[in-house]
Amino acid sequence: MKALQEKIVTEGKVLSDTVLKVDSFLNHQIDPHLMKQIGEEFAARYQEAGVTKIITIESSGIAPATMAGLIMNVPVVFARKRKSLTLSENLYTAKVHSFTKKETNEISISGDFIQQDDVVLIIDDFLANGQAVLGLLDMIEQAGARLAGVGIVIEKGFQSGGQLIRGRGIRVDSLAIVASLQNGKVEFMEETSTL
């Protein structure tokens, strides 16, 4: 997706060979026009998949997932990272380790919002090591729902997550795949939709 790649190049900040900061349009401040384009792209790619729910993980996946949900006319459910007094029964849970934040969280989704007859699309902001996606996949399996695929805004193609998820035979659609962050420069791979 050219508009996304241009935004990454002009506003993204390479902090190291593995860390790309995109908080000016995705992870802190949100560019709603770009999120709308991202939502339209995911909706177009999954229009024939019969999606009934979109799930993501708080908080940076919520904006692109919500835009896709709006365009696809399906609810968006986000996995919570923090315990809640109102979310205590009928939960699907999974542990997710963040290599960037160096912490493990137990994420949860209410069983009221994902059912056995749902066809679920996962949307997230980044795919690096694949741990967030694996946690969401675990909860979809707990619910007995069916997976349509995984939509990723930015994939770090030089890390193992994409290969790990695709290696399970899962469709992954990444709108921008970063091949390298070496020497402070962002280099992209071709866009991909793979099974």
Write the pLDDT tens digit of every residue in 166-188. Answer: 999 999 999 999 999 999 999 99
What integer pLDDT is reported at residue 105 of this predicted model?
86
**Cβ-contact 53, 120 below 8 angstroms:** yes
What DSSP assignment string belongs to 93-145? EEEEEETTTTEEEEEEEETTSS-TT-EEEEEEEEESSSHHHHHHHHHHHHHT-
What does pLDDT average to over the chain? 93
Q: Does the annotation list 27 as a binding residue?
A: yes
Distance CA 174, CA 162 (A): 9
SS3 category, 191: coil
Domains of the chain, by residue range, sit at: 2-194
Q: Is 129 annotated as a binding residue?
A: yes
Q: Report residue 191: phi and psi, to 5°.
A: -60, 155
Q: Return the C-alpha torsion angle 171, 173, 179, 184, nearest 10.
A: -140
156 in a labelled binding site: yes
Q: 131 among the known binding-site residues? A: yes
| pLDDT bracket for residue 100 (50, 70, 90) | confident
Phi-psi region of 48 (alpha: psi -120 to 50; beta: other; left: phi over 0): alpha
Confidence of residue 195 (pLDDT cuts 50, 70, 90): low
Arch. (CATH architecture) of 2-194: 3-Layer(aba) Sandwich (3.40)
Q: What is the pLDDT of residue 97?
A: 83
Q: What is the pLDDT of residues 18-66, one digit of tens each?
A: 999 999 999 999 999 999 999 999 999 999 999 999 999 988 999 999 9
Instruction: Evaluate if pTM is beyond 0.75.
Output: yes
For residue 79, what are its two tokens?
């996995």
Residue 158's pLDDT band, with cuts at 50, 70 and 90, is: very high
SS3 of residue 4 by DSSP: helix
Amino acid at 25: F
Q: Is 182 annotated as a binding residue?
A: no
Do the Cβ atoms of 127 and 133 come closer than 8 Å? yes
What span, in angstroms and rounded, lies between the C-alpha atoms of 28 and 48?
A: 32
- Would the pLDDT of 190 be above 80? no
121 assigned binding-site residue = no
